């Protein structure tokens, strides 16, 4: 499967490059009205905004700023397909204008506008994150009738265009089943309070912004998993550093972004090329979390996923297919094509405790005697992919993922990696040992295993 990823250096107020109903999901975080760090940007859009702030007319400035965002919301209704979702991360603002201190409800203003445009308003998510100031209150310290509570949460507003999305063809239904998430992920994601730490953004002059402004990878990763399927197109009309686009690429979705400040994208090219190693690590961590959940699960799971070689809790998880990134081709500036092969774990069949039993295709080989030469090869890396050999063929170490042939393959017992740490051979970055790490090599006589994190490139 191939996906396309493009960022336009242009305003999202007019997205002429996009056809009507061509987008399946929107995940974005716009500039927040009435937050002082965004005053200059809004004033460049409309000079009346700066005049209102100078005249201490906060209510007028608030409305004028939101009217600028309304231009993008109107475009979203045009480009979004029927049944598509819009997820907007926005924070309310507290500010003193002149002698008047009050809260400006950006979330309520956006909800009213989106409803007027024709969107259905769905239950929102409260993103709870640490306060940006060291003190936990504003006002007169410990004296009553003078302090104000701080805002320690933001909103993830969720809207849908029309009724539920209908998957008509067999291909669409299959893609939906393959894009399913694990049972434990559903329990964690579909709650209305998320505890996720924010990340610091850098301005074009390299200085950290004064607050924890940006959402990290986890937030768009969850939303894209929840509200789209593999092969869909995800739009971020306020791209920023490209976090949404990168998350979409990791999940096998197409992505489109709009950004007016090109300087903020100076690291985007490096980030997107690092996705090759990042996709392997992400899939490995996701499967490890699932295995741990199965270990703690009180019942014996009834179902088995052949694609990943693991037991699953519900029948809807039986066809989950994970994909990794094998190749990234730069077509033009901020325009990339990415290849997503199926992430296969056909090496062995796994029971509900996550313990290796045998290679599913070759049950008769589970009892085959392993010769001394083959035993000596069990910790040597496969010459094709670099993973620790999990089988041998003709006495040579091989990886059953790279060589899924029907020839007889001797299965070797995996080493116990519990509480083992792997260290990058270049930068010494440490990760929990896992055979799915790139170029992983188990060093049983050493304190650390070895792998390569991609810090020096993959050429």
Segment 67-81 mean pLDDT: 97
pLDDT of residue 395: 59
Mean pLDDT of 278-304: 88
Asked if the model's pLDDT at residue 110 lies above 90, the reply is yes
Q: What is the mean pLDDT of residues 230-248?
A: 96
Structural domains in the chain, CATH included, are: 2-275 (3.40.50.150)
DSSP letter (8 states) at residue 454: S
Average model confidence (pLDDT) across the chain: 82
> What angle do the packed helices 106-117 and 58-79 form, to 10 degrees?
40
CA 248, 253, 257, 262 dihedral sign is positive
Q: Which residues pair with residue 305 across a beta bridge?
A: 310
By mean pLDDT, which of 37-51, 115-129, 322-336, 358-372 is the weakest?
358-372
Which one, of 309, 189, 329, lies nearest residue 249 by Cα?
329
Residue 201: is its pLDDT beyond 60?
no
Residue predicted with more confidence, 158 or 142:
158
Residue 293 has pLDDT above 70, yes or no: yes
- pLDDT tens track for 397-429: 666 555 544 344 454 556 778 888 888 887 888
Least confident of 197-201, 286-290, 351-355, 395-399: 351-355
Give the pLDDT confidence score for residue 443 in this predicted structure.
Answer: 81
Question: Does 382 score more than 60 pLDDT?
Answer: no
Q: Give the pLDDT of residue 214.
A: 65
Number of Cβ within 10 Å of residue 251's Cβ equals: 24
Which backbone phi and psi does 20 adopt, to 5 degrees? -60, 135
pLDDT > 70: percent of the chain? 77
Query: 3-class DSSP state for residue 29?
Result: coil
Provide the CA 214 distance to its chain's centre, in angstroms: 14
Q: Is 395 exposed, middle or buried (0-12, 13-18, 19+ CB in 10 A)?
A: exposed
pLDDT bucket at 441, cuts 50 / 70 / 90: confident
Answer yes or no: are the C-beta atoms of 328 and 334 closer than 8 Å. Answer: no
% of residues, the chain, pLDDT over 90: 56
Output the pLDDT for position 193. 95
Mean pLDDT (whole number) for 114-141: 79
pLDDT digits (tens, 9 = 90+) for 88-106: 999 999 999 999 999 999 9
- Position with higher pLDDT, 418 vs 23: 23
Mean pLDDT computed over 195-220:
63
This prediction's pTM: 0.74
Q: What is the pLDDT of residue 175?
A: 96
Query: What is the DSSP secondary structure assignment for residue 232, as one 8-state letter?
Result: -
pLDDT band at 309 (very low <50, low <70, confident <90, very high): confident
142 pLDDT above the threshold of 70: yes
What pLDDT shows up at residue 25? 98
């Amino acid at each position: 499967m191939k996906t396309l990823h493009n960022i336009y250096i242009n305003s999202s107020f007019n997205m002429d490059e996009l056809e009507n109903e061509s987008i399946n999901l929107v995940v974005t975080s716009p500039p927040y009205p009435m937050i002082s760090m965004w005053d200059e940007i809004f004033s460049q859009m409309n000079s009346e905004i700066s005049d209102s702030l100078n005249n201490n007319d906060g209510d007028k400035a608030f409305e004028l700023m939101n009217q600028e965002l309304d231009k993008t919301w109107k475009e979203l209704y045009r480009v979004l397909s029927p049944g598509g979702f819009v997820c907007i991360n926005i924070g309310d603002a507290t500010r003193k204008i002149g002698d008047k201190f009050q809260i400006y409800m950006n979330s309520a203003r956006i909800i009213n506008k989106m409803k007027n445009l024709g969107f259905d308003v769905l239950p929102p998510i409260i993103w709870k994150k640490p306060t940006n100031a060291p003190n936990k209150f504003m006002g007169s310290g410990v004296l009553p009738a003078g302090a104000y509570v701080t805002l320690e949460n933001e909103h993830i507003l969720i809207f849908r265009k029309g009724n539920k999305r209908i998957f008509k063809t067999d291909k669409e239904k299959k893609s939906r089943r393959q894009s399913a998430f694990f049972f434990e992920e559903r329990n964690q994601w579909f709650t209305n309070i998320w505890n996720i730490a924010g990340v610091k953004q850098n301005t074009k002059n390299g200085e950290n912004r004064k607050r924890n402004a940006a959402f990290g990878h986890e937030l768009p990763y969850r939303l894209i998993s929840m509200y789209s399927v593999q092969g869909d197109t995800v739009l971020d009309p306020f791209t920023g550093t490209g976090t949404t686009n990168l998350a979409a690429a990791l999940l096998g979705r197409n992505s489109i972004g709009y950004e007016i400040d090109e300087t903020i994208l100076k690291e985007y090219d490096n980030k997107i090329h690092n996705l090759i190693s990042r996709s392997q690590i992400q899939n490995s961590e996701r499967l490890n979390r699932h295995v741990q959940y199965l270990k703690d699960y009180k019942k014996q799971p009834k179902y088995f996923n052949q694609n990943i070689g693991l037991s699953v809790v519900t029948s809807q998880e039986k066809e989950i297919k994970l994909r990794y990134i094998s190749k990234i081709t730069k077509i033009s500036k901020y325009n990339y094509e990415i290849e997503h092969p199926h992430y296969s774990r056909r090496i062995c069949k796994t029971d509900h405790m996550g313990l290796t039993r045998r290679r599913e295709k070759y049950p008769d080989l589970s009892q085959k005697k392993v010769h001394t030469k083959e035993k000596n090869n069990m910790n040597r890396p496969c010459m094709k992919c670099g993973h620790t050999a999990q089988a041998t063929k003709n006495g040579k170490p091989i990886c059953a993922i790279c060589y899924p042939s029907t020839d007889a393959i001797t299965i070797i017992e995996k080493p116990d990696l519990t509480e083992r740490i792997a260290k990058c051979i270049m930068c010494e970055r440490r990760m929990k040992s896992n055979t799915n790490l790139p170029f992983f090599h188990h060093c049983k006589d050493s304190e650390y295993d070895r792998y390569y994190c991609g810090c020096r490139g993959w050429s």
